[in-house]
Chain A
Amino acid sequence: MNAQTKAVGYGTMMGDGQFGTYIKAGADMEGGIGLTHVTDCANLEGIVESQKLEARHCSVFDKNILYLFYGKPAYRRKWDGESTSNLGFARVCFILKDEVSAQADRMLPFDSGAFFGRYRHAFHDMIGVEAFDVDPAIHPRKIIAAFYHSFSDYFWMQPIAGLKFPLTKTIVDSYYKLITGGLKEAFDDRCATIELQYRESLPLAGHVAAVIAPNQMFEDPELLALIHSWGAEPRGYMVPHMFNPSEIGGRLYDEVNRYLIDAGLIT
């Protein structure tokens, strides 16, 4: 069964499967750390023009979808070979206000793109991505509360150790193994980053809390005016730090983490 046939259309996935039910009935916590949307510098101009994050055609689900991630600056990209790194444009991260999560049409506990690409085989062949749907009416922090002690632990991918699940909770257990490295293969942070999907494009006005971008980008008066009108905080970083390959991976995480600390959302 290929990815397309496994993917379920909107309206039929209310998160009432084993995983969604587990999350719904589970513990809750307080607060929220917002959502992220990461894109290349090269795309910034188009976003400034439209003032919205566009829902674009997704070949996996064959629909127009806008992907956001909860709290962590996961970056949705194609999976390429592992032998060499890809050089990408410097990245811009929009940090969106927490309440934007309430508008989501679909919620999954991981990057669905990577599910179909890389770690799909981590699960039983019969388990489709829809098995992990969580009712989008539920706050994403309930997924975090189920597997982490804090937002900070979620951010740095430090799940609660030693959780046990009954044999009847195989899907929940599989996910826990995925995020704790209990599977044969190791996966990157996207396996533990909550994904929210939107059918409609999202206007940025009133929804953006901060924009993280190379310092240089904030010299554009049009962008600055927009950020100001959104009431968002511009947070620049130094591009030359990205020249060193060892710096690339953690840079955006570091910047988002500093924002969350400055905003008092995590310690």
Chain B
Amino acid sequence: MARKLPAKDVVIIGLGWTGSILGYELAKAGLDVVAIERGPWRDTATDFPPAYAQDELRYAVRLDLFLRPGQETLTFRNNGSQTALPIRSFSGFLPGNGVGGAGIHWNGQTWRFLPTDFQLRSHLEQRYGKENLPADMTIQDWPVSYDELEPYYDRFEKLCGTSGKAGNLGGQRQPGGNPFEGWRSSEYPTPPLKQGLGATLFAEAARKTGHSPFPQPASNLSEAYVNPLGVKLGQCTYCGFCERFGCGNYAKSSPQTCVLPALLRFPNFSARTESEVVKINLDSTGKRATGVTYVDTSGEEWEQPADIVLMCAFSFFNVHLMLLSGIGKPYDAQSGQGVVGRNYAYQTTSGVSLILKDKILNPFIATGAHGMIIDDYNGDNFDHTGLGFFGGGYMGAGQTGARPIQTRPVPKGTPKWGAEWKQATAETYQRAFSLATHGSSYSYKDCYLDLDPTYKDRLGRPLLRMTFDFHDNELKMSAFLTDRLAEIAKAMDPAEMTASPRKGPYDSTIYQTTHNTGGTVMGADPATSVVNRYCQSWDVHNVFVPGGASVFPQNHGYNPTDTVGALAYWTADAIRDRYLRNPGPLV
């Protein structure tokens, strides 16, 4: 029997980016807020100091900062005819854990979606004809527009201090920035990072082949910065330990470096770590949440009553908790009815690896998000007539380091070990460079999340089950994108080049991205969405999913974090300015 705690105004499940932003905004509005986080507390000085943050084995290979599958994992299958099996060790994607969540170990690549991405279905139907979209593709329009979200993107980027160069200020094209991006109300808070030789050579080749390269927007900061919350960030040192690592220099934007120092000053905010929410509790009508039940490290159950419940976990675990709590109708792939778990999507990435002639690239000098990029083949930035697919992605030189356990390129045909391997490894490291495409992943009727019938977690709850595979549309897109990238790569005059378009089936053992989206998607119609345009549950009005990637109706050709942060601010404003005045459905 759970012991009941004194009631709070707001309970936050998960203290990562969205949890800390909502915590700050609502504590500032005077509400009594508690965050419950399943993982440990984490601070820069104690958890990833520059004395040992740069430990590839510990952080990148043994995955020290990530969720342990023994605590929670999911099962996976490519299609409904297979039996899903548990992901026993994470490798294909890496969910975060602890305070800061995925905001600790991300690369800092900070992208807005395109204006047309937000009207994806209606835009494509209008331009190409409804009959040309695959019948089982379940993409839909977002219930918010780019114009509505722009001020919130701006707020999140100012929170982060993102480094970059605008390509479109209030509708005016800006030289040096991304000519395809939606309008921005202001320039990036900090100027672009410096570029290494590999990215510089790519940019030259891209220009030569008629493209428009620009520096990747980076939340690894080009200079010291004080954000609007009064929190100070340091300058990035190009150390090359970003992805999978915490930043010891206070130079990568994260809840730790951007929000928590300000949030923790509020006496009306508190956090409980190593405490896992097992259920959102509903009243007898099932239309109002009364709070949450969580388990602490000793196995003790606690009930935390609250007027508002904010689901701020990583995308999978918002879906999981909603299914376990009986909020919303679970999706049934056979009938296509139901919504919770529907429209799971991912990212379709690919690469072109190069070995250059007579170059010293120093590939270990890197940040998670520097690099030169082109956006010519993203979204609907190019005419898809006759191509046989929709969607696209950005591409370019975004190599995030060359830590040698995981990055040791060798020429084609080199044995995997022995004298020849050793020689090739020594001779290639300085001359090798990789380019990548970062493509969209549209949603389909047969790609979804539900509860596994066999496997249970440590608390006896069914694991979440993922059913996912790449579809022809995405594979054709990846082939097209990779061909374009290879054309540019050829202009770099490499000694050797290997283009690797994404091929099916989806392999959960090969790291691609941790951009897992959908399952509690936002929309204008309760028959095809779990939350409304304010990220509020259609069924239980005091439950919100404030911006986690689980609300994306499909995934676009960009990294999700900027949109996640923008939606967090958008939802915080809706709760503070509208919901508190008149608690009830906002739509």
Indicate whether A and B interact: no
Residues of B within 8 A of A (CB): none
